[in-house]
Chain A
Amino acid sequence: MIRLTVNGIEHTAEPAGAESLLATLRDRLGLAGSKDACEQGECGSCSVIMDGELVCSCLVMAADADGSEITTVEGLAPAGELHPVQRALVEAHGVQCGYCTPGFAVAAAHLFEREPSPSADDIKEALSGNICRCTGYGAILRALTGLAGEEP
């Protein structure tokens, strides 16, 4: 039995063996916003914020996450609202198939929390662990540089 605070709400869960935090979030807590793609930390689509750090939830053993505070894409903004990075992605059409979008949104939100006006290079660096296989990087970068008040 583990205890997690996810998006401000306390949960208990019973992960099976060495299952990942991603599996626990999606399959046991019903939070399917974090996407399951490469399952080896290459693609960033499962990114969550754990105790203030951006991590790939597929690489966190759920049993070792006991006691931690997690923010998933569902918790970036109150229900029915958008986080500024999500609004920026919508407005700049920074979404194609959308599968990578939750991971990009979480990584970008984590960046803007620490650095409200990042440079274009800061943004590229912060998103270097997120892959968009539609290769929609141009629109994603335009969305976030716009939010930062930077020229892309």
Chain B
Amino acid sequence: MEIARPTDLAGVLDALDADPAATLLAGGTDLMVEVTYGGRRPASVVALRRVDELATWEGRTIGSGVTWARIEHGPVRALAQAARTVGSPQIRSAGTIGGNLGTASPAGDGLPFLAAVDASVVLASTAGRRTLRWDEFLTGPKQNALQPGEVIVGVELPEHLPERQEFAKIGARNAMVISVASACLVREAGGATRIALGSVGPTPVRARRAEEMISAEPSPSPAAVAEFGRLVAEEVSPITDHRSTAEYRRHASGVLARRLLERCL
């Protein structure tokens, strides 16, 4: 196995230009499980953790190499809440937000927040940079729009983030758990609301009919909150797998939606 350990972004791009099919390695918390259990044998690896430019968080641009441990103590409330639910302290000190995007698991804990705020993903190669909205980048379960020779540089948050924002996740227990369902809700003081859910569809799911309904309610009644939960449960498209059933995930989506909305009122 060949490994390149560049120390700056130019070095990463050069390494990928020379070997576009190289496997990108950030924290390793997903890749090493594939190596150990999935029989994955990368012929060549480009390791990213020495690249300071990727581990930089400046304002609304979060570098792909920023770890969950940093995000957990960062200034963005719902993203910090999501970060705290990622794995364990050991996983959070290694795993990165770029890794969540690269793996593109439907259960990626950071993804519902990115979907709820309509974040963008910045990619780079020797040919230049391009910026894709989250739903252009995440194309399916464990599928994304990253092309050979490209690296995820980071995430761009919108200029304005609603102050009211909440994330919650359901799993078999509190610590060290992969989500059965998760959700992130953001709400403006005037009522405009967005909600994205994880683990209940091939990519994060925005419940747009529910958003439209509740955004028109500046101070929702209990009946409106219940209707919001019902609509969200209708809009998700969960499957049954070894972690849970489609029925439970649909039910849980409605409960999470109501709960997060109540916390934002």
Instruction: Report A's interface with B, CB cutoff 8 A.
Output: 17-18, 20, 39-42, 44, 47, 53-56, 58-61, 63-64, 66, 107, 125-126, 128-131
Instruction: Report B's interface with A, CB cutoff 8 A.
Output: 1, 3, 5, 25, 27-29, 31-33, 35-37, 40-42, 45, 47, 49, 69, 87-91, 93-94, 174-176
A/B interface sample: 9 pairs, CB < 8 A? A17-B42, A41-B29, A54-B89, A56-B29, A59-B33, A60-B32, A61-B3, A61-B32, A129-B91
Q: How far is the CB of A43 from chain B (nearest CB, A)?
A: 9
User: Which one of A41, A58, A61, A64 contacts B87 once the chains associate, using CB atoms below 8 Å?
Assistant: A41
Minimum CB distance partner of B42 in chain A: A18
Minimum CB distance partner of B27 in chain A: A59
Chain B positions within 8 Å of A107 at CB level: 89-90
Are B36 and A39 in contact, with the CB atoms below 8 A?
yes
Interface centre among A18, A66, A125 (most CB of B within 10 A): A18
Are B28 and A47 in contact, with the CB atoms below 8 A?
no
Chain A positions within 8 Å of B45 at CB level: 18, 61, 63-64
Are A59 and B1 in contact, with the CB atoms below 8 A?
no
Chain A positions within 8 Å of B3 at CB level: 61, 63-64
Chain B positions within 8 Å of A42 at CB level: 176
With A20-B32, A129-B87, A129-B176 already in contact, 8 other A-B pairs whose C-beta atoms are closer than 8 Å: A18-B35, A59-B33, A59-B90, A60-B28, A61-B32, A64-B25, A107-B90, A129-B89
Chain A positions within 8 Å of B175 at CB level: 128-129
Minimum CB distance partner of A60 in chain B: B28
Assess A41 versus B37: contact at CB under 8 Å? Given A58-B32, A60-B28, A64-B3. Answer: no
Chain B positions within 8 Å of A59 at CB level: 27-29, 32-33, 90-91, 94
Q: How far is the CB of B5 from chain A (nearest CB, A)?
A: 7
Q: How far is the CB of B261 from chain A (nearest CB, A)?
A: 28
Chain A positions within 8 Å of B1 at CB level: 17-18, 63
Assess A61 versus B31: contact at CB under 8 Å? Given A47-B90, A54-B93. Answer: yes
Minimum CB distance partner of B177 in chain A: A42
